[in-house]
Structure 1
Amino acid sequence: MNGTIGGEFAAFLDAYDWSSPWRAEREESGMNNTTRMIYAGDERYVLRVYDNHRDEAIVRVEHAVLLALIGQDMDIRVPEPVRNQGGSTVTQGPEGKLAALYRYIEGRRPSPDNPAHIRGLGEAASKLSSRLAAAQIDVKPLYDAYYRFEETHRAMTNERLAELAHTLRLPDAESEQVEAMVRLRAELRLAANRAAKLPHQWIHGDIVFTNSVAAADRIVGLLDFEFATVDVRAMELAVVLAEFPGPDAGTALNRIGLFCEGYGEGVRLGTEEADMLPALMQMRMMDVFLHFAGRLADGVDVPEVWRGQIERTSFVCGWIERNRLELNRIFRETLT
């Protein structure tokens, strides 16, 4: 028997074997997907409905990475996909939407205001990086490496960006931010050539506080492997580090130092990897900037979404430039 709350998810949940009636509750949901907490007797699960694509191959790559990690000895938990009645970890709804059911990882979201959580997230990222480097993952990644932003977003030429900015009638300050990102783009093309020569491996690709789970002061789980791909090893750090810049540079640099101390406990980078981290952080932001420009051009997002990304990405990239010397010192001292 199905639960009465969240019955609209029955098309997905009826594909699984249940020992008790299920109940779906709205608790938390990500930006790209709809999630529901599923209660069945004493068991808890998370149903994830993929809203941003209907490509089963993408989900299967994600699950291949997760299943390779679950078989390893790792004290950081990752989502465990549940097989449906057909033996698959991917379930398709009647309208073509895809979903997956995962066993629940007990805990709560960590806080960037808690130093133990910041350092712990660094430790968790290094443990995951080590396991991913050793894992046997026999699938081809479907997402490009972040440093290949030009290939990923080839349709978003500088001319197309200028057209979008003109169509939106952006105020002078935002137009200048777009122009600054275009200038930075030319510099990052050269840096991307150097990045291509750095050590590569599978990475999570989206380790942030909202994609992790804490118990007290410990980070106990990492979630949302949808963007897992093969990239520069150091890009795993760059993605997280790009989240820290804020108006108080001292606070941001302190948090970056804590995270890197935690990461450096488990994985040491080469000098060239550490020195390229500021540029890798900017490449991550450039990828975000171009991604949301493309979504606007395709009519997926309203203009306010890209305008918010213009402000954030230009701020972060400028912040990195202003603090590059201190960042390089932190990275050398904690990571090499």
Structure 2
Amino acid sequence: MHNIHLRTHEDQEWQLIEEVLSVFSPKTCWEAERGYGGMNNTTYMLKLDGERYVLRVYETHTDLVKIAFEHHVLSALRESDFELRVPAPVKAIKGDGHTFHSIYDPRNGQNKIAALFTYSTGKNPVWNTPDQLVELGHAAGLLSGALSRLDISLEPVYPPYYQIQQAYPLCPPQKLIQLCMSPPSELQACAEEMQDLLPVLPALFEALNGMERLPHQLVHGDVNASNVLSDEDGRICTILDFEFATWDLRVMELAVPMSDLLTMDKSDEWMWEALEGLIRGFRKQVILEQNELLAIPQLILLRSLDVVMHFISRMFEGTDEPDVAVNQIIKLRERILWMNRNEERLRKLLT
């Protein structure tokens, strides 16, 4: 483990970790290593007097209400009959015992929110064979069922995916269309892809009409390989990152991992077997209605469109470099091209 604790007291990461630990733990002997996973937040793997923890610094926002809802969902899941593990936030030893705390980040002079979680064993899965996706579908279905049974007293903050028109004030639909018409210098690397999106975007936004009539429940909304852990036998044992949990379409819990599959560098045969396995694993746990299944092709593209608008907004905020948004724009175009070729076959697979 990279020992940040051995740095000088003037080191900014050292100062950040020291401040967080002064709130959450009385332990003074620590080691830390900056994590590599996640695109929205900064994580550190910690050892405190021999025990392992994960420190999370939220970079997406500084909204205490959003994080309170996330931690409330985690607490409710841990008290339920859900058979997989989820993160366990540590209560602060100072103040009112919250599981999150506002801190000053000396790295950029901004105020952030930090939380400490107990460490979950396991590793992010690598999809080597298509049959592994049955396991992901099964885990997503288990989670969907558990979330549908939770009694949550707090109101969710994030809007449903299909309310994307209001979700990103820095990049609303009309702004995105304008950017595609005249890509700024930061997005010139994907100017061709943005031009290809122009005739497609109005229909994508139009397809969202009527989605509010589909079955709703509490959803995780971001189940993928980076947000699950597998044990030594390859079985998914833990689901991570409930930051974007909200009240949304039940079927988004299947549409999201399906969307993430479509840009993998795999053969057509591999992809179709993986999609079939993912769907089969999910539907063992959740019985979807016919109108939900019919909406999945549009929801797959909606997921990718949402990610594009999210990271363009973060680019405007200065949180991410432009190449992050460029990569997501390219992936959106790839998914649209895939859907143009394969939508009919996908619908047959779903129904």
Alignment match, 1:183? 199
Q: Contact between 2:183 and 2:194, CA under 8 Å: does it hold in 1?
A: no
- Name the counterpart of 2:243: 226
**Where does residue 251 of structure 1 map in the other structure?**
270
Pairing partner for 1:280 from 292, 299, 310: 299
Quote the residue 1:94 is aligned against: 104
Q: Provide the rounded CA distance (Å) in 2 between the counterparts of 1:67 and 1:139.
A: 12
In the alignment, structure 1 residue 168 sits paired with structure 2 residue 185: yes
Q: Take 2:147 and 2:78, find their aligned partners in 1: how far apart are those partners? A: 11
Tell me how far 1:298 sits from its aligned partner.
Answer: 4.2
Distance of aligned partners of 1:98 and 1:179 in 2 relative to their CA distance in 1, 3 Å threshold: same
Whole-angstrom CA distance in 2 between matches of 1:79 and 1:243: 23
CA contact 1:260–1:331 (8 Å) conserved in 2: yes
Q: 8 Å contact 1:29–1:36 — kept in the other structure?
A: no
Question: How far did residue 305 of structure 1 move?
Answer: 2.8
CA distance in 1, matches of 2:350, 2:214: 16
CA distance in 2, matches of 1:208, 1:142: 22
Is 2:168 the partner of 1:149?
A: no
CA contact (8 A) 1:168 1:303 kept: no
Deviations 1:242-297 (A, max 9, x none): 11114533222221111111111111100110111011111111112222333334
Give the CA deviation at 1:306.
Answer: 2.5
Aligned to 1:239: 256
Unmatched runs of 5 consecutive residues or more in structure 2: 8-12, 106-110
Closer, same or farther: CA 279–157 of 1 in aligned 2, 3 Å? closer
Please list every run of at least 4 consecutive aligned residues from structure 1 whose deviation after the TM superposition is greater than 6 angstroms: none
Kept after mapping to 1: 8 A contact 2:89/2:118: yes
Q: 1:312 aligns with which of 302, 323, 331?
A: 331
CA deviations over 1:49-75 (Å, ceiling 9, x no partner): 112222211111110111110101122
User: Quick one: distance in 1 between partners of 2:133 and 2:242?
Assistant: 20
Aligned partner of 1:131 among 146, 149, 158? 146
CA distance in 1, matches of 2:338, 2:35: 34
Q: Which residue identity is paired with 1:209?
A: A
Does the alignment pair 1:198 with 2:237? no
User: TM-score of the superposition, structure 1-length normalised?
Assistant: 0.90
* Shift in alpha-carbon separation, 1:59–1:21, aligned structure 2, 3 A: same
Distance verdict in 2 for CA 1:19–1:310, change over 3 Å: closer
Contact 1:89 1:101 in 2 (8 A): yes
Report Cα offsets for 1:162-185 as digits up to 9, x if no partner.
Answer: 3463433977x9445324433332
Separation in 2, partners of 1:293, 1:94: 25
What's the CA shift for 1:227? 0.8
Q: How much has 1:30 moved relative to structure 2?
A: 1.7
SS in 2 for 1:196: helix
Amino acid at match of 1:72: S
| 1:258 counterpart SS class | helix
SS of the aligned residue for 1:107 comes to: coil
TM-fit CA distance, 1:300: 4.1
Most deviating of 15-24 and 196-205: 15-24
How many equivalent residue pairs?
330
Give the CA RMSD over aligned residues: 2.4
99, 120, 123: which is aligned to 2:135? 120
Query: Can you list the C-alpha shifts for 1:37-96, whole angstroms capped at 9, x where unaligned?
Result: 111234211111112222211111110111110101122100011101131100222342
1:232 offset after TM fit, Å?
Answer: 0.5
